[in-house]
Amino acid sequence: MADEIQHLTRAFSGLGGLGVDEPAMVSALAKWRRQPEKLSGFRKSFNGFFKDHGGVIERCEEEYMLHLAAEFSRFKNLMVMWAMHPWERDARLAHHVLHQAHPAAIVVEIACTRTAEELLGARKAYQALFHHSLEEDVAYRARDKPYCGLLVGLVSAYRYEGPRVSEETARAEAKALVAAVKSAGHAAAKLVENDDVVRILTTRSKPHLVETFKHYKEIHGRHIEEDLGHEETLREAALCLATPARYFSEVVAAAVSDGADHHAKEALTRVAVTRADVDMDAICAAYHEQFGGKLEDAVAGKAHGYYRDALLSLVAGGK
């Protein structure tokens, strides 16, 4: 019976992980009929969910019930997000972040990893849904942040998407970035407010930025994201613009790590849904290169039930 109880405890996400194991719960409903001693043993052993109440009953803990509601909703949230029009999805993600005091990373992600038309579409959807422009809400909500100008510029951009790059200009702007980094030292706010830094990151095409960052490495001997680490918004923007697969692999790795917080866990659904049809193979390759192992194995080891199955369908497809 101990194994059955542990199995059901795991199904309730009681031993960690993401989501719940619905089939295991349904199986217990059938197998444990007319066996109240098993259910009693389950309540007594699941200290996180139940607590002895004066020796009379094992009472459900309110805090764990809230946690459990969130775990049950992961599959629902994934399916709703998957069914949405991509423009509406991005608009709702951005609105939620801006109005719930979440980190700015999701806004950076939307602004920097979508095509020019996709970002414009998200801005149109934002206006239609919320009767404000995305730009004005970003400017207002981030008005006290040093990265406000950068963020407004990123969401306002309509980048050239052709292949042409001026090597001379890319090299010159790499030198400008090196000068800005050296001038700022460890003062992150000074760097994120630098006019050249903001102009280059918010206006240049992605192929141009790839070349610029390549020249930066040749001149300075370090990858630019290493020098932008003191200002997380800058680092996220640089990664999303030039190496999105690497950025998303880091986000997913954080989501499935032990001790991941609420925001980190939520990112797993977002990345799986928004990148499945875009660059998931590249993200899986980047994950393997950075962290070893397969991304689908990491997801399978951390998630439960229908949520796990849905994630694996998006991450691994028919493999």
Collapsed DSSP state (helix, strand, coil) of residue 187:
coil
Residue 170 and residue 162: Cα distance in Å, rounded?
A: 15
- The letter for the amino acid at 136 is E
List alpha helices for 146-260, DSSP H.
148-156, 167-184, 188-192, 195-203, 206-220, 224-227, 232-242, 244-255
pLDDT of residue 255: 97
Q: How wide is the angle at C-alpha 55 spanned by C-alphas 51 and 60, nearest 5°?
A: 25
Task: Provide φ and ψ at 9, rounded to 5°.
Answer: -60, -45
pLDDT of residue 70: 94
Regions of the chain short of the pLDDT cut 50: none
Tokens representing 185 are 């030292």
Tokens representing 126 are 């934002």
Q: To the nearest 5 percent, what fractions of the chain are helix, strand and coil?
A: 70, 5, 25
Domain spans in the chain, listed from the N-terminal domain onward: 1-60, 75-316
260 C-beta neighbours (distance < 10 Å), count: 17
Q: Enumerate the β-bridge partners of residue 303.
A: 18
Q: Which residue has the tokens 């059955």?
A: 4
Are 268 and 140 a contacting pair, CB within 8 Å?
Answer: no
pLDDT of residue 141: 95
pLDDT of residue 319: 60
